[in-house]
Chain A
């Protein structure tokens, strides 16, 4: 089959690889119809995530049709022929984390848990196409994928919604939703969202859906800010504006009640000297992540507020504003999305027309053009926000 492979930092190519088959009794094999490129994939391509190997298949946002199920799969849950969306964290459904619905912290699904434990103190779940640290699972930017614990993970879609309407249930829609949910939004809350990528856009939609009085988008890509403005959100371009003063200005001096970091470890900074400082530290590995958005979110947030982090961080940062966080009673919440929690309720919202996930799609291409897609997405060319790859 054809598959999009990581061949080294800044090197992606579509390769011929063997078709997947059942490795564990509870696996299924899915013939992929649609898949997407995510901001998380850029962290891999840019070389910031350790544990990648040449030839690894990329991709963790995918859907398709079940073509094979293992002998141990509970067939009342999933059968050959089912149309499924596959959540990016692999969960076993049986461990304490899964029972507590903390699926992305599954204690059983990462065969390389020992490595993850060294990095994080405790291991985390397996993830498709996301380094050997998260298990070394083949990704979904391909024609087929093997799906472990098939009777626990995939969402079976029975309605006749298009792929494009349900594909993002695999990651970015639930992730944006969880970012807003972690904010415990109350009446009259002002919610500021750093990053107007796919995750940020869905975090904004979800914040409004959960009752925010005002939503503010922060980014420096004019087209992404316009996309937010078109939904009625206020915007700040951090390239030419001091974000903290702008936020104070927009909130009568209070600061946003709730702040969402949908940027992660590759943040850039409007002030060149600050950007340079962290870039240099990252280059010599004195810190692994560039935490501009996170620092700004913490110092901007209103006292007693919540800072909700879904932007991905991998290791260690420098100059964490611990004093601001502690003295002002801020709550810091974070997580890889527990996608399985949100798929069904969000599917119902899509079916009821409360959310239109397709609004973020700017590019559609065949799988074979994935490398060009990565270029567009990485360099934000052609106003690229989200690329859907199709195998047909």
Chain B
């Protein structure tokens, strides 16, 4: 299960778009002449427009890969083929060979784009979640609390265990639906004490994922603004669908709740429990809750275990 981000074909197409787009935007007249087309104002404008589109596709494919950019390329290819066919029909003969060659190249590229779009659609896709909160501790203290990765499971609902395995590596285990668990190794990719922590899963992860937390001083020195971004691949296949549904309950609500519990833990030293939501982090805000009355000894044992 690969993310589009690390898919060589997708990256290749993104780089190809960039390679085409830059000269088209920078020197539209030369490009038009290069493919054997008269460089009149109409042709120059068309070339410039095509270049802008290529750069957009390049940006999309490289920065936020998604099948929609691949289909965008297919659509662009069709427009290009139409323009070139028109040029061929009205050709004055000078440089006809180069125009024909360009047309053939675009046709071939179209085939690759269609292949990529078809095969990459409905496979894995990536989901990004963000959440933010303000806590009354300093950026340094707040960062330090998060940096102790082993402590994350106390407030992050799905995490069961984070174990340190090296200087910058750790092993993570999270609960998945139907009593399953998913595991992965992760490495810290950026670490700026008091301001930034980023990590990503290493090859072989059950679910590719990564994230970052930014810590910045709140206005007036009144604490720390914490911004979390989580990315994970929603993989294809049965497990993938289950994971998607699982996270899909209300994924952003869950991250909000995780962050709320983080705030509770940092500020008060504990995750707050009530009779209605006695399990602390396992309380998923679902209804009905436990009634607002004390738990029986048996319930208590189950909850606190």
Partners in one complex: yes
Contact A137 B264 (CB under 8 A): no
Assembly CA distance A20 to B67 (angstroms): 55
Contact B264 A114 (CB under 8 A): no
Residue in contact with A21 in the complex, picked from B253, B276, B300, CB distance below 8 Å = B300
Contact A129 B292 (CB under 8 A): yes
Assembly CA distance A110 to B276 (angstroms): 11
Chain B residue numbers with a CB within 8 Å of A129 are 292
Contact A138 B273 (CB under 8 A): no
Q: Does A26 contact B (CB under 8 A)?
A: yes
Interface residue stretch chosen among B111-119, B179-187, B277-285 = B277-285
Contact B272 A126 (CB under 8 A): yes
The total of chain A residues at the interface (CB under 8 A) is 43
Q: Does A56 contact B (CB under 8 A)?
A: yes
Contact A53 B274 (CB under 8 A): no
Interface residue stretch chosen among A89-97, A155-163, A164-172 = A89-97
Chain A 75-112 near chain B by CB (<8 Å), digits 1 or 0? 00000000000000000111110010000000111111
Chain A residue numbers with a CB within 8 Å of B300 are 21
How far in angstroms is the closest Cβ of chain A from B29?
A: 56
Chain A 223-267 near chain B by CB (<8 Å), digits 1 or 0? 000000000000000000000000000000000000000000000
Contact B276 A132 (CB under 8 A): yes
Residue in contact with B294 in the complex, picked from A54, A92, A113, A146, CB distance below 8 Å = A146
Chain A residue numbers with a CB within 8 Å of B273 are 23-24, 111
Chain B residue numbers with a CB within 8 Å of A137 are 274-276, 292
Contact B276 A136 (CB under 8 A): yes
Chain A residue numbers with a CB within 8 Å of B277 are 111-112, 132, 135-136
Assembly CA distance A271 to B50 (angstroms): 72
Report which residue of B264, B292, B293 has the largest number of chain A beta carbons within 10 angstroms of its beta carbon. Answer: B292
Say which size band chain B's interface belongs to.
Answer: 35 or more
Residue in contact with B136 in the complex, picked from A72, A94, A109, A114, CB distance below 8 Å = A94
Residue in contact with B293 in the complex, picked from A3, A24, A110, CB distance below 8 Å = A3
Residue in contact with A111 in the complex, picked from B222, B269, B276, B296, CB distance below 8 Å = B276
Known: A94-B268, A112-B285. A21 touches B294 (CB 8 A): yes
Chain A residue numbers with a CB within 8 Å of B79 are none
Assembly CA distance A3 to B287 (angstroms): 23
Interface residue stretch chosen among B5-13, B231-239, B255-263 = B255-263
Known: A113-B260, A132-B289. A95 touches B280 (CB 8 A): no
Assembly CA distance A26 to B289 (angstroms): 23
Assembly CA distance A312 to B222 (angstroms): 31
Chain B residue numbers with a CB within 8 Å of A149 are 268
Q: Is the interface of A mostly helix, strand, loop or mixed?
A: loop
Assembly CA distance A218 to B294 (angstroms): 41
Assembly CA distance A23 to B294 (angstroms): 10
Residue in contact with A138 in the complex, picked from B223, B253, B287, B292, CB distance below 8 Å = B292
Contact B263 A54 (CB under 8 A): no
How far in angstroms is the closest Cβ of chain A from B23?
A: 51
Contact B289 A53 (CB under 8 A): yes
Contact B253 A96 (CB under 8 A): no
Contact B274 A126 (CB under 8 A): yes
Known: A72-B270, A96-B223, A148-B272. A108 touches B264 (CB 8 A): yes
Q: Does B290 contact A (CB under 8 A)?
A: yes
Known: A111-B274, A112-B276. A56 touches B292 (CB 8 A): yes
Assembly CA distance A93 to B222 (angstroms): 15
Q: Does A367 contact B (CB under 8 A)?
A: no
Q: Does B291 contact A (CB under 8 A)?
A: yes
Q: Does A139 contact B (CB under 8 A)?
A: yes
Assembly CA distance A72 to B273 (angstroms): 14
How far in angstroms is the closest Cβ of chain B from A143?
A: 11
Return 25 A-B CB contacts under 8 Å, by A number: A18-B293, A18-B296, A20-B275, A26-B269, A53-B289, A55-B291, A56-B291, A57-B275, A94-B136, A95-B268, A96-B134, A108-B263, A108-B264, A108-B272, A111-B276, A111-B277, A111-B280, A111-B283, A126-B272, A132-B276, A132-B289, A137-B276, A138-B274, A138-B275, A138-B292
Q: Which 3 A-B pairs have the closest CB atoms?
A: A136-B276, A55-B291, A56-B292
